[in-house]
């Protein structure tokens, strides 16, 4: 079977009528930033499905503008933890009519909406896609600006899950002061679908559950009581990239708005996260002001912005001994030379397909066409060879995590087109 046929088969299998699950077993609900990446793949097959994927998420938007990390399928509530019964979102102020998590994920949605529109502008106009998407996306970005941004101009995440890179070494220090949820047994349905050595540890899960419960019990109010508040480079770079996309969407609709200025302000604020000694951006604990001194793929993501002042140093770091572009498999999620490096455990070393896709975009943007093409070819080859794995051993390309993972198929398909 060709890459295209296999990827289509997977996406069709993971489609649930209005959205695509990231993986049928491990992740049986709709996830926020997954849907944006998945829509980028669907647009080549069905512009309509790509639009519906994003619209399904918009229909779960909270009244304060937040787009939730997860929109739950109540019929599968025992299959993932923490689920709808944990969040009880109906009891929380401003929640939508469908059950969702109270947390968010990285804001890649406006960028995806623009790409989806461009794939088939006629169908997009016929369905009034941008007219409906634009206000939802503006409300989402307004939430980030009003409820998540401090004087630094950067948006913070209140939980590692919100970064999408859940057990990154960036969170080790901020999590060190967080207590563990006092549970006899940590519910781990995830371990029925992926090896324990590929997933976060029970200790990490106890902290994740403590933080999520505390945020829920404070009414997801963003009132400053959060025990974890961190500025992440990828989250903010994606926000800036999406703000630029919103500017283009506004242009399509004939609206006048200051999205480009907002994007520039976020890009300027990102400079606070620059670590000259490491040659990349790093996370910053917003509560203590401390920079988290680790090289991770998140710190390279600002390369998706054309005007990023640190492009030469970032490209050097991407090519250098920490990430070894061209020699390692795709782009490792964290510095392969660091003491925290782990070839299997999730975001502490394995290579992921969404970040490789972002690096293809980054390399193209900065004139490294040859490397961009070569990385794109590797994404396609490894996606197919690994059975569309969630992530890969960064040296051997052995499949890690779950298989038949939707964004792996969607993004390989996108690079194939
Ligand atoms: C928690 C769905 C999500 C991705 C994240 C990835 C993983 C969830 C988990 O799966 O996180 O959100 O249970 O581990 O880290 O990026 O969105 O694919």
> Residue 218 is encoded by which pair of tokens?
């404070």
1 pLDDT above the threshold of 80: no
Query: Which CATH number does the domain 3-416 belong to among 1.50.10.10, 3.30.420.40, 1.20.1080.10, 3.40.630.30?
Result: 1.50.10.10
Report CA 124 to chain centroid distance, whole Å: 25
Indicate which atom in ligand 1 lies nearest the CA of residue 26: 13
- Calpha distance 164→67 (Å, rounded): 14
Q: Helix H segments across 337-401?
A: 353-365, 369-385
Residue whose CA lies nearest to ligand 1 atom number 8: 161
Q: What's the gap in Å between 164 CA and the centre of ligand 1?
A: 6
CA of 390 to the centre of ligand 1 (A): 10
| Residue for token pair 């997860």 | 70
- Work out the burial of residue 243: count CB atoms within 10 Å of its CB; fewer than 13 is exposed, 13-18 middle, 19 or more buried: buried
User: What pLDDT is attached to residue 184?
Assistant: 87
Crossing angle between the packed helical segments 406-416 and 32-42, to the nearest 10 degrees:
30
- Domain edges within the chain: 3-416
Ligand 1 atom nearest residue 406's Cα: 18
CA of 70, closest atom in ligand 1: 12
The residue whose CA has the least distance to atom 6 of ligand 1 is 164
Q: Percentage of the chain with pLDDT > 90? A: 98
Neighbouring residues of 195: CB distance < 8 A, sequence distance ≥ 6: 344, 400
Tokens of 201: 């540890």
Please pick, among 34, 73, 232, 390, the residue that the annotation labels catalytic: 390
Q: Of all atoms in ligand 1, which is nearest to the CA of residue 23?
A: 18
Listed range (199-203, 208-212, 311-315, 379-383) with the worst mean pLDDT? 199-203
Q: Which of 26, 32, 34, 160 to mutate to test the pocket of ligand 1 (most atoms within 8 A of CB)?
A: 34
Share the mean pLDDT of the chain.
Answer: 97
100 forms beta bridges with 71
Element (DSSP H or E) covering residue 284:
strand 283-285
Rounded (to 5) percent helix, strand, coil in the chain = 50, 10, 40
Residues with CB under 6 Å of ligand 1 are 22, 27, 31, 33-34, 69, 161, 164, 166, 190
d(CA 96, CA 100) in angstroms, rounded, equals: 8
CA of 388: how far to CAs of 102, 280, 342, 383, 392, in Å? 29, 29, 21, 5, 10
Tell me: pLDDT of 239 over 90. Answer: yes
Nearest to 60 by CA among 78, 72, 48, 50: 72
Q: Are 144 and 213 in contact (CB under 8 A)?
A: no
Return the ligand 1 atom nearest residue 32 CA. 17
The answer to whether 217 and 50 have CB atoms below 8 angstroms apart is no
Task: Write out pLDDT tens, residues 319-340.
Answer: 999 999 999 999 999 999 999 9
Alpha helices of 108-225 — where are they, by DSSP H? Answer: 109-119, 121-127, 129-148, 160-163, 172-176, 202-217
**231 alpha carbon to ligand 1 midpoint, in Å?**
19
ipTM value, please give it: 0.99
Distance of CA 161 from the midpoint of ligand 1 (Å): 7
| pLDDT at res. 172 | 98
Instruction: Tell me how far apart the alpha carbons of residues 220 and 362 are, in angstroms, rounded to a whole number.
Output: 34
Residue-wise pLDDT tens digits, 10-25: 999 999 999 999 999 9
Distance 132 CA to ligand 1 centre (A): 27
Strands 230-231 and 156-157: antiparallel
Average pLDDT of span 352-356: 99
Residue among 4, 64, 123, 166 flagged as catalytic: 166
The yes-or-no verdict on residue 277 having pLDDT over 80 is yes
Could you read off the pLDDT of 384-417 as tens digits, one per residue? 999 999 999 999 999 999 999 999 999 999 999 9
Q: Which residue has the tokens 């899960």?
A: 205
Write out pLDDT tens, residues 96-145.
Answer: 999 999 999 999 999 999 999 999 999 999 999 999 999 999 999 999 99
Cα 300 to ligand 1 centre (Å): 20
Q: Among residues of the chain, what percentage have pLDDT more than 70?
A: 100
369 pLDDT above the threshold of 90: yes
Rounded to whole angstroms, the Cα distance separating 5 from 78 reads 32
CA of 124 to the centre of ligand 1 (A): 29
Measured from the Cα of 69, ligand 1's closest atom is: 12
Beta-sheet pairing, 283-285 with 230-231: antiparallel
Active site residue 204: no
Q: Is 346:199 a contact under the CB 8 Å cutoff?
A: yes
**Closest residue by CA, ligand 1 atom 14:** 166
Helices (H) and strands (E) in the chain, counts: 16, 11
| Mean pLDDT of all residues in 233-238 | 98
pLDDT at 41 over 80: yes
Instruction: Tell me, yes or no, if 166 is annotated catalytic.
Output: yes
Query: For position 99, what pLDDT does the model report?
Result: 98
256 pLDDT above the threshold of 90: no
- Do 226 and 210 touch, CB atoms closer than 8 A? no
| Total number of residues shown for the chain | 417
- Among 19, 22, 188, say which to mutate for ligand 1: greatest number of ligand atoms within 8 Å of CB: 22
């Amino acid at each position: 079977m060709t890459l295209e046929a296999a990827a289509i088969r997977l996406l069709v299998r993971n489609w649930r009528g209005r959205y695509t699950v990231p993986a049928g077993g491990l992740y049986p609900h709709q996830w926020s930033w997954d849907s944006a990446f998945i829509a980028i793949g669907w647009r080549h097959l069905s512009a309509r499905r790509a639009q519906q994927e994003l619209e399904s998420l918009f229909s779960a938007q909270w009244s304060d503008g937040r787009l939730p990390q997860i929109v739950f399928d109540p019929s599968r509530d025992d299959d993932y933890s923490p689920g709808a019964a944990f969040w009880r979102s109906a009891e929380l102020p401003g929640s939508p009519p469908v059950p969702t998590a109270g947390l968010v994920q990285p804001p890649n949605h406006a960028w995806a909406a623009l790409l989806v529109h461009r794939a088939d502008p006629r169908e997009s106009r016929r369905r009034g896609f941008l007219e409906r998407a634009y206000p939802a996306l503006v409300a989402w970005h307004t939430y980030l600006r009003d409820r998540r941004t401090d004087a630094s101009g950067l948006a913070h995440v209140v939980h590692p899950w919100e970064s999408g890179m859940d057990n990154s070494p960036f969170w080790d220090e901020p999590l060190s002061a967080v207590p563990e949820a006092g549970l006899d047994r940590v519910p781990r349905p995830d371990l029925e679908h992926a090896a324990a050595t590929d997933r976060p540890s029970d200790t990490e899960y106890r902290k994740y559950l403590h933080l999520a419960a505390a945020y829920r019990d404070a009414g997801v109010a963003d009132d400053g009581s959060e025990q974890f508040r961190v500025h992440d480079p990828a989250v903010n770079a994606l926000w800036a990239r999406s703000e630029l996309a919103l500017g283009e969407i506004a242009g399509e609709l004939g609206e006048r708005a200051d999205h480009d200025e907002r994007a520039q302000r976020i890009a300027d604020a990102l400079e606070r996260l620059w670590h000259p000694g490491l040659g990349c951006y790093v996370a910053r604990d917003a509560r203590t002001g401390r920079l988290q001194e680790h090289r991770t793929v998140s710190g390279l993501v600002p390369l998706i912005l054309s005007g990023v002042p640190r492009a030469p140093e970032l490209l050097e770091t991407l090519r250098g001994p920490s990430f070894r572009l061209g020699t390692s498999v795709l782009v490792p999620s964290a510095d392969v030379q660091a003491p925290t490096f782990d070839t299997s455990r999730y975001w502490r070393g394995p290579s992921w397909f969404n970040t490789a896709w972002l690096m293809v975009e980054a390399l193209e943007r900065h004139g490294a066409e040859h490397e961009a093409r070569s990385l794109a070819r590797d994404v396609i080859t490894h996606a197919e060879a690994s059975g569309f794995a969630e992530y890969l051993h960064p040296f051997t390309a052995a499949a890690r995590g779950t298989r038949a993972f939707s964004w792996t198929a969607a993004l390989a398909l996108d690079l194939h087109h």
